[in-house]
């Protein structure tokens, strides 16, 4: 499932995939794969992304049913 919440939060901070990737210590391809729903990040990476974007885990990674 695509993570549009992550993409929107990244765009709201005016960060490219490359910039976010550098902040959290992964490749741009990893950020792209998370946004496309092709990669399930570790909890450690989820937390790093949330901190970089000033969001909670629920705000970015909780899937509504």
- Give residue limits of the domains in the chain: 4-58
- pLDDT at position 63 is 81
- pLDDT at position 1 is 82
Confidence grade of residue 37 (pLDDT, cut at 50, 70, 90): very high
Confidence grade of residue 43 (pLDDT, cut at 50, 70, 90): very high
CATH of the structural domain 4-58, one choice from 2.60.40.420, 2.30.30.140, 3.40.50.970, 1.10.260.40: 1.10.260.40
Tens of pLDDT, residue by residue over 46-56, are 999 999 999 99
48-62 as b/e: b if 16+ CB within 10 A: bbbebbebeeeebbe
């Amino acid at each position: 499932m695509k993570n549009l919440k992550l993409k929107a939060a990244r765009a709201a901070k005016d960060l490219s995939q490359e910039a976010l990737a550098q902040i959290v210590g992964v490749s741009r391809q990893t950020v792209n794969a998370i946004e496309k729903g092709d990669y399930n990040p570790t909890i450690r990476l989820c937390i790093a992304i949330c901190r970089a974007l000033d969001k909670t885990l629920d705000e970015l990674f909780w899937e509504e049913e």
